Amino acid sequence: MISPHYSLLPFFVTTAFSSLCRVTVMSALLIASITITLPSLLADSEHWAYQPLAKSFPPASGNSSWVITSIDHFIEAQWKARELKPVEDADKRTLLRRATYDLTGLPPSPKETQAFLADPSPTAFAKVVDRLLASSAYGERWGRHWLDVVRYADTAGCASDYPVPSAYRYRNYIIKAFNDDKPYDQLIREQIAGDLLPSDSEADHIENIIATGYLAESLRFGVGGKEENLTIEDTIDNLGKTFLALTISCARCHDHKHDAITAADYYALYGFFKSTVYAFPGSENSKGVSSDFTPIGTPSEVSNFKKIQAEIDALEKERAQLKREDRKLASQVAGGDAKIIAEQKALRKRQGEISKKIKVKMALNASANVAYAVYDGKPSDARLQEQGERSKKRASIPRRFLEVLGGAELPKKVAAKGSGRDHLASWIADPANPLTARVMVNRIWQHHFGQGIVTTPNDFGKYGEHPTHPDLLDYLAQSFIDSGWSIKSLHKDIMLSRVYQLAGSDDPAVIETDPENSWLTYAKRRRLSSEEIVDSMLLVSQTLDPSQGQAHPFPPRSKKTYSQHHPFVDAYDSNQRAVYWMRQRLRKHPTLSIFDAADTKQSTGERALSTTAIQSLFMMNAPFVHEKSSALGARLMSEAKDDKQRIKLTHELLFNRPATAEDIKTGLSYLQGNRKSLISSNSDKHTIPQEAMASYVRALMGSNEFLYLE
């Protein structure tokens, strides 16, 4: 393979010879540096992640009675090599709770549990998996995983963190895409270049435009919000981590220190997005005025939007010309020339009139049906910026893909007409690209087993971890492609394996042999995510609103502007699932952050896991928890005839298991003591039974058995 450094050789040589006094020294140093770096880059290109998918076949099994699927053959082969043995299978209740949370982020109902327990057929679990994959809750759960990676938020991220009322459309697009089992390669193309793709209908065209909200979601910076180079850097950073698990943005200022990615690679990608217009949400400097959103209404509405936008553009052009004339006159003022001063006054008056007209027309378009999206601007390649400084622009770099992944260059005819994002998307989604399928398969595996086959899901580079089961990873990646990039088929393949259905273990001997569970000899316990905790309380208390979230009730732009000293801050929580709750960039969600919600300012491939006193205090004292425990208490009082039956129902709802004799004894004792305490505090005697039940429920909600999944 030819090193990517060769593409920079003409630039280096030209620079060296630009100053005659430094020709000999600079040439020698530059050529020497190139010679030194070539071997390391060639070695980097041989890194496992850049190699084509291996043609993997399930190894022969020594225990055909244990193996169910091809996945099990790969897992068992590693056990044999390490003299490991798996634990027993999980019981049906544990398996159902695990599968239901994994696919929907919600607990199973007692009715669903009884149906599974009553089904003795060998296909009983497969039927459960099919039912869960067909649920609308599936897209809400797995859409949230994707939103973590693409750092979704409902605000811009600039110093004033301006709200983006139409951002929710992209969120809902993602949820729908997972529910529809949209082929993953198509999902990639739509998010990167949906506006450039052909469509079969107006509805499909609108959906494709909304999909580019992925790019529009790139962070805005500063008080102006239009720092193009930083927004594009964030785009490239996220694109690299999301689809390729590569830290491409590390090459912004210099060739990557560890991976086979050069600064030329970075600026080759930069050109695609430099040729793209990002919707502008507004900022402190713009007084909240937004622009470049894409209209998605009826044909007549779109036509009217474009007409008004053309009028705005013409007025902006006229205002810019008047400003230039004003500056020219200002340079001519001498000794208070009355004529020039009069001309200046007239110019400024006209500028004010135009500004008022622009504001009125922008207000008209602000109320239109729009998408937070992108579209093609003036096509151009980017120039390499020395040390990442815009003021130090050097050689122009043609738009192309990463050299280590083929370096395909944008055809000149295409480059002259548009951004070429559709070509970029196709290069990423190409089945021959060795990273794309591996990365997505690893993400799906990670959320089923608690860790990926590669435990650094956003970094497959040299400093990321190597796969524990490389043959299995490639086998699944190829199967994923062969299935038509079906994510739901991949779920089913994983979940129907024997290894997925293993029990957990607290046995020190088992854990000692596989402390990180790298070889999957037992099921790894995990804490529920912040959204799962919230959603579970909503569901069991029967306060969950199952409808899909729409736009948040942000203040009208005409009523409110924000600044770096007074940025936008709010929360619009509801009884809908937490995936629909408003997320900000500059402020963590006050509830969801307590249990480690994703950071909306950067790609989250794997959430942090903390254990803090605040979490316990939240479960004891938070108004949300009190509200939901009271609602569940009321449900229990209504659906069960006495305390014993209520305790039994509570355990079925919260833990998906029957209450033991000890559970019942402890529960009855707690309720009796709590009621006495409420009586002594002069509480309303009519509400004491329900208050006591709510207190009991709250205690169980704060337990590990509710908050953790086996």
Q: Model confidence over 325-378: pLDDT tens digits?
A: 888 888 876 766 888 888 888 988 999 999 888 878 877 777 678 999 999 999
Query: Residue 513 is inside which H or E element, if any?
Result: helix 508-513
10 Å CB burial of residue 694 (0-12, 13-18, 19+) is buried
CA atoms lying within 13 Å on the CB side of residue 266? 27
CA pair distance 474, 538, nearest whole angstrom: 40
CA pair distance 124, 694, nearest whole angstrom: 36
Q: What is the mean pLDDT of residues 529-541?
A: 98
Q: What is the mean pLDDT of residues 595-616?
A: 96
Does residue 524 have a pLDDT over 80? Answer: yes
Tokens of 241: 């981590």
In the 3-class helix/strand/coil scheme, how is 515-552 assigned residue by residue? CCCCCCCCECCEECCHHHHHHHHHHHCCCCCCCCCCCC
Per DSSP, 408 falls in state: P
At residue 336, the pLDDT reads: 67
Does residue 394 have a pLDDT over 90? Answer: no
* Sequence-distant contacts of 683-689: CB under 8 A, at least 24 apart: 689/637
* pTM given for the model: 0.90
**Concatenated DSSP letters for 593-655?**
GGGTPPPTTS--SS------HHHHHHHHH-HHHHHHHHHHHHHHHHH-SSHHHHHHHHHHHHH
- Cβ(612)–Cβ(606) below 8 Å: no
Residue of 403, 422, 402 whose CA lies nearest to 411: 422
CA pair distance 389, 224, nearest whole angstrom: 19
Write the pLDDT tens digit of every residue in 4-36: 332 322 322 333 333 333 333 333 333 333 333
Residue 156 one-letter amino acid: A
CA pair distance 456, 606, nearest whole angstrom: 8
> For 19-23, 250-254, 437-441, which range has the lowest pLDDT when averaged over its residues?
19-23
Give the three-state DSSP class for 278: strand
Top mean-pLDDT range of 59-68, 179-188, 393-402: 179-188
Tokens of 486: 């079906």
At residue 13, the pLDDT reads: 31
Q: Are strands 294-295 and 276-278 parallel, antiparallel or unpaired?
A: unpaired
Top pLDDT among 105 and 11 is at 105
CA pair distance 159, 161, nearest whole angstrom: 6
CA pair distance 694, 630, nearest whole angstrom: 5
At residue 356, the pLDDT reads: 87
